[in-house]
């Protein structure tokens, strides 16, 4: 989706939208629209029960000169910035396959701030993302037509604000694409190739570890997950040095299981196709790193993606096996479908040993228990530091990628003690998300601030959202970008 900023609305615009606050329809001033057209719009709004709630739309066709203009009213509720983002998404959802190729949002007299205008543009652009690569027989009426949204009469500074949000939008597009691709196309090696190609020229320093390198480092936990697949594992590290020389201040670590059968502890067949998005954490890290590079964030950040495929062949890891992690700690594998934590623990150890980081945030579609707890409204947050947790909660609220904090503690930690190894990879059925987080915490060095985001319910949506269509949401990119901007950039 192309976003254009203009000083005023072009007279020839065929589709024009105006923003409307809640219960403000009657008092609406529509610049350039005559009294007859205003009366028609008011009647249309009444007939469509439109009252200006955030994300709602009313429309009418009005005659102007020798032609007809399609006019939309976009509800922005109380008029806060987030409501403008929802309005932008609603605009695109309404017009994407309508036959219209461009639309103009006229903000003259609206009172919109620069941030609100930029968020409206972001909502419109993000809602326009589609993945039709394999739909060779898509009916003409279902093909997208809307290519351009023009923001007219935006306040000073709106275009500069959009530049930052454009970077987020492009990061989201990468994440959504990675998550949507099927597992026969996206596997550890091709994940690396696609990310390198997509971020080429942005200034990211790339390091890739192959299977031999990981064996040499003793990454037995990650390699144990991968050993049942013909697809070789990879570790992808992307470093952004926006603050100059020195160690990264922050590490973002993502679980990248490009397909998860469950291994020998195989999953039920129904719904297993969804497990192509079990690399959602790694996808979010890749998208966030692209965003930081695009907007030239003034922070040193490293993104690490642990990439494996979990398959049940004759060489696959068995329940009861004991593996040795890169940290030297041993793990009794009780359930091979609790594989994400085995991948993450070696990635966390690697980034601590090689880059001297003091703050780590890991992201993973880790547990079904998190979906039971929070559904698809919040991601789960676990942290060993209250200040870090508060920063992430604030970033989640501001960005729209909301988080909810869960507890950690010794009582939960004891539940993963093993009688024959240092720990086992699952605890009892209760508190499954918490014991998974406790497992990862055992690999965090003393003095390192750490947070774990369990985003199992968030990376894929079964219905349309405000700024995404059904499918990959891109969850994680926005909260990570906001977290970096507010806490790691001077």
Q: What does the pLDDT look like over 369-425, one tens digit per residue?
A: 999 999 999 999 999 999 999 999 999 999 999 999 999 999 999 999 999 999 999
Is the pLDDT at 248 greater than 90, yes or no? yes
pLDDT value at residue 40: 86
The answer to whether residue 449 is catalytic is no
CATH number for 37: 3.40.220.10
How many domains does the chain fold into? Answer: 2
Give the integer Cα–Cα distance in Å for 307 and 344. 10
What is the rounded distance in angstroms from the CA atom of residue 259 to the CA atom of residue 361?
A: 23
The answer to whether residue 80 is domain-embedded is yes
Instruction: Check: CB of residue 18 under 8 Å from CB of residue 74.
Output: yes
Would residue 31 count as lying in a domain?
yes
Averaged pLDDT of the chain: 96
pLDDT, position 65: 64
Compute φ and ψ for 235, nearest 5 degrees.
Answer: -115, 120
Greatest CA separation for the chain: 84
Mean pLDDT of 456-480: 97
> Is the residue at 162 inside a domain?
no
From 176, 341, 449, 478, active-site residue: 341
Looking at the structure, tell me whether residues 59 and 116 fall in a common domain: yes
Q: What is the pLDDT of residue 264?
A: 98
Cβ neighbours, 10 Å, residue 81: 18
Asked whether the predicted pLDDT for residue 194 surpasses 90, the reply is: yes
- 310 Cβ neighbours under 8 A, 6+ residues apart: 225, 226, 228, 229, 257, 259, 260, 261, 262, 263, 336, 337, 339
In the predicted structure, residue 55 carries a pLDDT above the cut 90:
yes
Q: Which residue segment(s) compose the domain that 342 sits in?
A: 167-487
Q: How far is it, in rounded angstroms, from Cα 233 to Cα 235?
A: 7
Determine which one of 22, 70, 267, 298 is catalytic.
267
267 included as an active-site residue: yes
pLDDT higher than threshold 90 for residue 25:
no
460, 471 Cβ separation under 8 angstroms: yes
pLDDT value at position 66? 65
pTM, two decimal places:
0.97
Same domain membership, residue 232 and residue 129: no
Is 194 exposed, middle or buried, given 0-12, 13-18 or 19+ CB atoms closer than 10 A?
middle
pLDDT bin (cut points 50, 70, 90) of residue 102 is: very high
**pLDDT-derived band at 35, boundaries 50, 70, 90:** confident
Q: Using one digit for the tens of pLDDT, what is the confidence trace for 268-285? A: 999 999 999 999 999 999
State which of 101, 133, 154 marks the end of a domain: 154
- Residue 257 included in any domain: yes
> What pLDDT is recorded for position 22?
93
What whole-number percentage of the chain has pLDDT above 90? 93
Which CATH number covers residue 409? 3.40.630.10
Residue 89 backbone dihedrals phi, psi, to 5 degrees: -65, -40
Task: Determine the pLDDT at residue 26.
Answer: 76
Please indicate whether residue 199 or residue 24 has the higher confidence score (pLDDT): 199
Tens of pLDDT, residue by residue over 202-231, are 999 999 999 999 999 999 999 999 999 999
């Amino acid at each position: 989706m192309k976003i254009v900023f203009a000083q005023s609305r072009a007279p020839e615009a065929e589709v024009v939208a105006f923003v409307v606050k809640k219960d403000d329809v009657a008092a609406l001033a529509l610049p350039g629209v005559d009294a007859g057209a205003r009366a028609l719009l008011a009647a249309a709004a009444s007939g469509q029960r439109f009252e200006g709630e955030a994300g709602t739309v009313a429309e009418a066709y009005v005659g102007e000169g020798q032609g007809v203009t399609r006019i939309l009213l976009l509800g922005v509720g109380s008029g806060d910035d987030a409501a403008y983002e929802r309005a932008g998404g609603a605009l695109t959802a309404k017009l994407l396959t309508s036959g219209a190729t461009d639309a103009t949002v006229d903000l003259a007299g609206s009172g919109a701030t620069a941030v609100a205008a930029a968020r409206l543009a972001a909502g419109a652009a993000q809602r326009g993302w589609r993945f039709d690569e394999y739909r060779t027989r898509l009916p003409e009426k279902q093909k997208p037509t809307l290519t351009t949204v023009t923001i007219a009469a935006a306040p000073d500074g709106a275009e500069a604000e959009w530049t930052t949000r454009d970077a987020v939008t492009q990061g989201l597009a990468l994440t959504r694409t990675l998550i949507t691709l099927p597992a026969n196309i996206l596997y550890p090696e091709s994940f690396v190739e696609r990310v390198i190609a997509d971020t080429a020229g942005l200034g990211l320093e790339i390091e890739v570890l192959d299977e031999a390198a990981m064996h040499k480092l003793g990454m037995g936990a990650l390699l144990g997950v991968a050993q049942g697949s013909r697809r070789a594992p990879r570790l992808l590290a992307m470093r952004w040095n926006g603050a100059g020389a020195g160690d990264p201040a922050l590490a973002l670590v993502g679980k990248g299981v490009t397909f998860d059968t469950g291994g020998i502890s195989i999953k039920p067949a129904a719904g297993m196709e969804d497990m192509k998005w079990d690399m959602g954490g790694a996808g979010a890290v890749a998208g966030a790193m692209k965003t930081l590079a695009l907007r030239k964030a003034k922070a040193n950040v490293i993104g690490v993606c642990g990439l494996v495929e979990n398959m049940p062949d004759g060489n696959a890891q068995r329940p009861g096996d004991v593996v040795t992690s890169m940290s030297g700690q041993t793990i009794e594998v009780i359930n091979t479908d609790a594989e994400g934590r085995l991948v993450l623990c070696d990635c966390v150890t690697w980034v601590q040993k090689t880059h001297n980081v003091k703050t780590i945030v890991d992201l993973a579609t880790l547990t079904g228990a998190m979906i039971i707890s929070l559904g698809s409204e919040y991601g789960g947050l676990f942290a060993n530091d209250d200040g870090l947790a508060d920063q992430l909660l604030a970033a989640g609220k501001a960005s729209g990628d909301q988080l909810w904090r869960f507890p950690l503690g010794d009582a939960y930690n004891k539940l993963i003690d093993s009688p024959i190894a240092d720990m086992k990879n699952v605890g009892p059925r209760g508190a499954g998300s918490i014991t998974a987080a406790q497992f990862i915490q055992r690999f965090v060095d003393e003095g390192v601030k750490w947070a774990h985001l369990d985003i199992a319910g968030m990376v894929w949506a079964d219905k349309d959202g405000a700024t995404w269509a059904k499918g990959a949401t891109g969850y994680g990119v926005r909260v990570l970008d906001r977290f970096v901007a507010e806490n790691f950039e001077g």
